[in-house]
Copies of this chain bind each other. A is one copy, B any other.
Amino acid sequence: MAEQVDTARRAPLSRDRVLRAAVALADEAGIDSLSMRKLAQELGVVPMALYKHVANKEELLDGMVDVVVDEIGPPAGDADWKSAVRKRILSARQALLRHPWASRVIETRTTPTPVVLTYMDSLIGMFRTGGFSADLTHHVMHAMGSRILGFTQEMFDDSPSVDPATQAVIFQEMATKYPYVTEIAMAAAHEDDSIVGQGCDDQFEFEFALDLLLDGFERLRETWPSGPRPRAT
């Protein structure tokens, strides 16, 4: 009777507990190490037990996205649509930065969950009450693209860090084969001691694009016809 770790002692499972454990596991071990089996083990339970709380892995991932989206705070009370939207999007970005796997997972969802729909509805509402026509709001939401949920793709991630000598050789090759890319990478790294890239201020880039779009939206808001755009005949 030495060990009795069985079913009795541990807290009972629940959809919520499963989702939170999944998020935690993905946060610390990466989304690729998130399998139903590992998750079950983490919860001290047999893999199939999870299926009493989520239909399948897809639904698990949907639920995980919901957890992240729930972390986005409620809209700020700003009277000004522009700063209200800006704050909300930046808050979404913070949520996504806390869970690096989330953007990748969101991209693979095929159908929005109610939680996501609620978030989108509230965001759309900010434009509508800010004086945008339904039609213009539609285009504007499309224009925001991946920024709606607070992320943009990174193009390069940290390279596997070879020694400086070969790094220099690689750099020379890069510079001759892709002069423009190299120039841009240099410009980005001007406040950094690494040779290539990495020193790019993502937050700045994100806000740069966000503000560019918001400014564009503002201009359109005043000139856009209030009805739907005229149909081609």
Contacts and interface: CB of A to CB of B under 8 A. Distances in A.
Contact of A181 (B117, B157, B212): B117
A142 B181 contact: no
Interface in A186-216: 186-188, 190-191, 200, 204-206, 208-209, 212-213, 215-216
A104 B108 contact: yes
Interface stretch (A16-24, A37-45, A121-129): A121-129
A74 interface: no
Contact of A180 (B128, B188, B190): B128
A153 B175 CA distance: 33
A182 to B, nearest CB: 8
B124 A191 contact: no
Interface stretch (A60-68, A93-101, A143-151, A162-170): A143-151
Contacts of A120: 155, 178, 181
Interface stretch (A2-10, A80-88, A133-141): A133-141
12 contacts: A104-B107, A104-B108, A107-B153, A114-B177, A120-B181, A128-B180, A134-B184, A139-B204, A142-B206, A143-B205, A145-B153, A146-B153
Interface of A: 104, 107-108, 110-112, 114, 117-118, 120-122, 124-125, 128, 134-135, 137-139, 141-143, 145-147, 152-153, 155-157, 159, 177-181, 183-184, 186-188, 190-191, 200, 204-206, 208-209, 212-213, 215-217, 220, 228, 231
